[in-house]
């Protein structure tokens, strides 16, 4: 019976493996986007300190980046990844 059970559930196990791989890829993409936003924020602060951009430009871009980070956290990235 064990061999028959293994054969019967093989397609289900294959689908579960595919779902896990898709989930891993999505989590990786979210992580990379979060890290990219963090890097952009750092560059933005540096540009402001060096007076390379105006405060108005800084505030607009900072809000855009922080809003996107909030969106990622609402999707569960911040809670699951410890950010």
- The C-alpha torsion from 42 through 47 and 48 to 51, rounded to 10°, is 160
* Angle separating helix axes 55-74 and 2-49, nearest 10 degrees: 170
| Both tokens assigned to 41 | 């924020």
pLDDT band with cut points at 50, 70 and 90 for residue 81: very low
pLDDT of 3-49, one tens digit each? 666 777 778 888 899 999 999 998 899 899 999 999 999 999 999 99
Nearest to 29 by CA among 79, 64, 66, 72: 72
**Whole-prediction pTM:** 0.69
58 neighbors 44 (Cβ within 8 angstroms): yes
Dihedral angle sign, alpha carbons of residues 20, 21, 26, 27: positive
């Amino acid at each position: 019976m064990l061999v028959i059970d293994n054969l019967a559930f093989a397609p289900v196990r294959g689908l579960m493996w595919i779902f896990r791989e898709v989930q891993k890829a999505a989590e990786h993409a979210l992580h990379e986007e979060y890290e990219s936003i963090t890097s952009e924020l750092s560059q933005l602060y540096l540009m402001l300190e060096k007076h390379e951009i105006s405060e108005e430009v800084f505030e607009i871009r900072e809000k855009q980046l922080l809003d996107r980070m909030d969106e990622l956290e609402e999707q569960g990235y911040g809670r699951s990844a410890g950010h």
